[in-house]
Structure 1
């Protein structure tokens, strides 16, 4: 199915330059919207959903910086990607000013068509994926609301229908009681005893014994109900918790009605108790699921944006390949974690997924026990392994048929040690400086997971040793709670 086109806004006061941008970007297949001034661009934004804004820095009336500031002031456009085009030499101060105003990138003039198309394409795809995630999140929220409404309707019908009440009593989900307001005597039916987890033989129903079974935080509900009936209230309903003798906490909803004498004085209060524990738990599970989906989506987008912004390459094709490789590595580990309901991932599975794109025959040897990694650790190690495999395939042992790679790992005292040893490849020289991949690997392993990464650039092949604690707090984050510091660590690694 063809993907939906997105709108790209081109802002420049010179018609010739606008025409040039249209020709360059035509092959992307997106909708190109033209604005010849800053004010015209603002009018377009108020009427149209825009994915990316390409704006000239130097324009009369509103220049690019002023336009960006006005756009960012509107809540709808605070996350809209803006790329500045400048025909003059931009100083570091102007660059910083532009980024503070909300720019995501600069393109100098003369414009290189391939570079401009690549940048626009990345942000257009990011916008499209973001909207898809928002749509899925809205659908989930609608399902949660619909399910909650169904549960509430079901509970209402349960109270109103005597037949449903009888069935619930038989199933142990509903009980009825009667309280003589004058003598203080209580009467419970079998369902009431079952809900509270006591038996008629061992439990005497008195105001004191009933209060002892209420959750300490909900005792005031009983006092409030008594006060309301003394004021003349004839019916009362509330939710409360009970603590059974075995310590189990259950949620209930209680409905009570008063019977009065000829003078209007309350003489008896009768009521029904419904065990709604399962409904409460279902609501909690739905709310947790909604929060986790929202959290995972935001963090995945934050990490993807960091990869796009921080990846460096001398050529457009190399840049695109690097970005796609890193995002695909993130997508693969995301799939593994999804299949396990975000309970974790096997280290050997992560390695196998990274090996899949290569046809290496017997060049690689793996050895190590089964190790289950929590989600945060799995995501970080997946990206680290991707960098190692990519570099080896380009420059190391995996770049030649004679090259060999041995990967082994072991766990000792809740600490994972992974050894990466290359041999038989091209002659290795110690690099004069660390590239982005190496620096991001070090930042993620050491700062994010509290581990260590060591590199030994031996002439016969790279020897890398990764040590990662398996019990570190940041590595035992609950399913779906990926450490959002990852993007910040990549930012510092790119320094």
Structure 2
């Protein structure tokens, strides 16, 4: 087959058939050259373009191609948009996606928009050749079918001649057709409504899981294969197509004889006589079990993600880099900011309105610069609608595509108000202890501890001989009390005497039923740390107690260890 490539076009000898030409659309010259060598060795003519617009200009009725190999990452337009427009220009043109994009959702999107196949770079040469052969076979069959249909509209004699030719072509192409159906995991059915007989293509037995025995020959034999939960829906869709001329397009499950459940996608069209009465019902079925499983896994993954981010106290957020669109905000925002999530979606920068005026411009500048760089880690104050002030730690990092473009910003903001209070309390303790000594120091420490940790009881005790202790300073329900000696036996303080950190967040009296002092004052929770001398020996302990349950906060332990 002789052909010349000139100005991007093919000039064919008039006496010969069209060259099988493959159009490669890829902005990477090395890929185009490698595909040209691979396909050229198989006898194909290969043309290469680098942009989507050039590909759309090339494909026309006067410049036919047997197949197109399309990259999704084009410099001038989205590859998926090119795929859609190519299908609109020529619905019979097979388009093979060959891309570095391995995202499953993207693959599903291309197949849903009529891609013949979706292959991933780096590609497997035999796989590419096999898919091109199949695509060319399908295109060849479509062209021949179109030619046959055009011929049938001519004179009766011409129709008879073309009918013979079509029969010959169909006979020669039967193997190619079966190959194409197998590649797509598809089957064909033809239901004669008058005789109520169904004819299936060869591969349908595999779809139904029938290793032996005939395929269902009537509608009544077919419906039992449909999953019980989908049977009524399927029967209704068939009825609507026959009686109301409604489109027949649905997904339903079947149950194979082995008990395995598979998903089928069904498309069909009713053929009617001149009086509008249905005569035949023809269509295709395709096994889409893998696609359904992927969809289910995706939904389950998204559901688990939402369960996690909606349960945590922190605020999980996603925005565009320009901060003009809030893509997601977790419910924690309403609790911490005191503002609605819907309000933030409507006004994506309204979270900044709550920032303390002294911090606002610093955070605004940082958000617009550091977030895209991955160095955003800020602490700032916000003012809630009730005028209370909270401290926030906000961290973010960019999500970057394969071209290095920042697509979105993902971040986590947490309320660190209590941590800030503890830090300030530690500073106050340090400042107080710097200038004080003796009893005055101890009284100041227990008073500060009670205030910082918001508890009713705090004391410092020295350990004596005979498993006894003496308090040097005690803060009890808002006032200091005189020092006292007491036995450590049967009290929670006994663990501190042993040199252990001890904590009971609630129900401490149940653990020490003989400690009357706890019972008289209604103590519910207890936390203590041992105090050690210069040589590491335990010389006393510091403790806090409250009539409410106490959370096990590491910052509380840090304060007591500081003391």
Higher helix share: 1
Higher strand share: 2
TM-score normalised by length of structure 1: 0.36
Structure with higher RCO (Cα < 8 A, 6+ apart): 1
Greater Rg, structure 1 or structure 2? 2
